[in-house]
Amino acid sequence: MTWKRESMPTRGNSVFRRIITGRTGRFIWLVVVPFVLSATYYGFIETERYVSTAVFSVRSSDSVVSPSFELGGFAIGGSSAQDIYFVQQYLMSWDLLEILDSEIELRKAWSDSLIDPISRLSADASNENFLKYYQNMLSIKLDSTSHMITIEVQGFDAQYTQNMLKVMLNKSEDFVNKLTNNLAYEQLYFVTEEIETNWKRLVASRSALLAFQNEHVIVDPKVDASQIASVIAQLQSNLAEAQTQLIELRGYLSETAPDVVSVKRRIQALITQIDTERKRLTGSGAIPLNNIMMEYENLLFDVEFANEIYRTSLVSLEKVHIEASKKIKSLVVVAQPNLPDEVTYPDRPYMLATITAFLLLTFGILSVIYAAVREHMT
């Protein structure tokens, strides 16, 4: 009797153990229990998330660039893939995240105690983990044909999520302005500085030329040199006539005759005058006119060269204005951030169906492996 009472519990325990450790038990532990836990979390614990969406691109003022399209009645120049890539990387960067945390207290909002422990950001999360969490809450899709970016932001509050996306777009626009417009302005600033420098050089060269003219009481040495050359030519002509006349007089008068003496004196005066005029032009003593003319031409060349550089810089400024206007770009928001009125995540039917399929597949694979190992051992 005692043996029967002891054997029955043992037998019952053996049956229960076989159920727990058998195929049914494996199914319960590998499928039923994980499914119940997942359904409990996704159905009752996980905090609901909203999604705000916006669509934008980078517009260039250069209407020649293609592709281009019409939007709202005005032309939108095509944007390069590089510009879009820069903006895409900026949206995922720590720089933007730091700004968001400073302006809308993003870390505080995502670590609120009302959010379930699995979904919320740890209050003492490192910057690296904060950035990873932020990037997981973003979805950025790029259309390589139209160079449009569609950005989706997840959040635990609909209004807060919309405001967050608005701030992100505003800061992205500032980033585009800093990236492209500042470069154009720097080019304009450089050319403007060059124009000012060239103008000062032109004024200085003109002042040097004017001071030289005042010092030597001369307007144009070339004119004076031409006049002196004309005077010398005229004196030489008069000298030739006087010498001819002297030869004629010597034919019938003596050297002491008054007419011969008068012509000789005239010839000597002409020679002296010619020598004086030549000294003015090339002689020593005072500054020769040819040296003055050479220095004048150098100063005049400086003035003309400075004037040409100044004119060229003015033309360059106009060209830079045109090129800068083509390079200026701006962020064009095609679809403004929306205010979500429905919960997007979690997608409970999809998640539960996925988990069920995964658990069943895992159970099937493990069952096959278990059967193969058991058969091999026996």
Name the token pair of 21.
């450790």
Distance, in Å, from the CA atom of 44 to the CA atom of 49, rounded to the nearest integer, reads 14
Query: How far from 344 is each of 40, 50, 348, CA to CA, in Å?
Result: 18, 5, 10
- Output phi, psi for 151, to 5 deg: -120, 130
| Topology at the third CATH level for domain 47-182+331-377 | Bacterial polysaccharide co-polymerase-like (3.30.1890)
Distance, in Å, from the CA atom of 225 to the CA atom of 293, rounded to the nearest integer, reads 8
DSSP 244-306: HHHHHHHTTS-TTSHHHHHHHHHHHHHHHHHHHHHHHHH-SSSPPHHHHHHHHHHHHHHHHHH
> From first to last of its 378 residues, what are the pLDDT tens digits of the chain?
444 444 445 555 554 455 555 677 778 888 888 888 888 887 778 889 999 999 999 877 654 444 433 333 333 344 567 788 889 999 999 999 999 999 999 999 999 989 999 899 998 999 999 999 999 999 999 887 888 899 999 999 999 999 999 999 999 988 988 877 676 777 777 888 888 898 999 899 889 888 887 777 666 666 666 666 777 778 888 888 888 888 888 877 788 888 888 888 888 888 888 777 766 666 554 556 667 777 878 888 888 998 999 898 888 888 877 766 666 778 889 999 999 988 888 777 887 888 889 988 988 888 888 788 877 776
- Residue type at 33 in one-letter notation: V
Burial class of residue 277, CB neighbours in 10 A (0-12, 13-18, 19+): buried
